[in-house]
Amino acid sequence: MKNLFVLCVCFFCSITVAGTAVPDLKIEKLEEGVFVHTSFEEVNGWGIVTKHGLVVLVNTDAYLIDTPFTATDTEKLVDWFVGRGYKIKGTISSHFHSDSTGGIEWLNSQSIPTYASELTNELLRKSGKAQAKYSFSGVSYWLVKNKIEVFYPGPGHTQDNLVVWLPESKILFGGCFVKPHGLGNLDDANLEAWPKSAKVLMSKYGKAKLVVSSHSKKGDASLLKHTWEQALKGLKESKKISSPSN
């Protein structure tokens, strides 16, 4: 089992060369009490895609911020922490796509509490996917009081995309909302709302010490401004495409 996990010293690029073998799940200690889990999946049209999530430790309890792509990797991730004496107390999925929710069904089968917004659960239901056991509404929700805050900046990558704030360490998990180097998959995006939502995020978490996104390298709060710039660019390009030719 131990050979299945390698402690990373850096993040990988969001997309690796197509045709290469899918790497194993990786776990990196980000700082005391915060780990990054990185899973990989071959996605049609994108090659092998890298997805980051977090595991936050509160004493001997562990909380998963997004699941890996698959149930198999979710089980490996849980086993890694359980094997080190931690109890998985809950998981939160930042949006309804499989790179955030792929392990929900397995987690539910293990009676591990799963959380998502009401909108995420509704989108999962419409997609025929397993839903989180617990849901919440509103702009802000404390998964763990004063330690893990879930925040909804508004639509962007999807209608339901959330971010997660760790106030003690000033780490922001931006999920798939934070896209500093290109907006990526736009199948469910709201390009009209994304720039405004990005402004909301900049205003609320502009002093973040570290920002972790789903598919990019970690960085400082400048990733939020870059996301806003990318969102503006994407909106302008979409308007050009939709405008009738002269």
* Half-sphere exposure at residue 210, Cβ-oriented, CA atoms within 13 angstroms: 15
- Rounded Cα distance between 70 and 67, Å, is 8
Q: What is the pLDDT of residue 124?
A: 98
* Catalytic positions: 95, 97, 99, 157, 185
Band (242; pLDDT cuts 50, 70, 90): low
Using CA atoms, how far residue 80 sits from 1, 25, 62, 67, 75, in Å, is 9, 11, 11, 14, 9
Residue 25's closest CA among 98, 74, 83? 74
Q: pLDDT of 160-200, one tens digit each? A: 999 999 999 999 999 999 999 999 999 999 999 999 999 99
Q: How confident is the model at residue 2 (pLDDT cuts 50, 70, 90)?
A: very low
Give the domains, in start order, of the chain with CATH numbers. Answer: 2-242 (3.60.15.10)
Cα 120 from chain centroid?
13
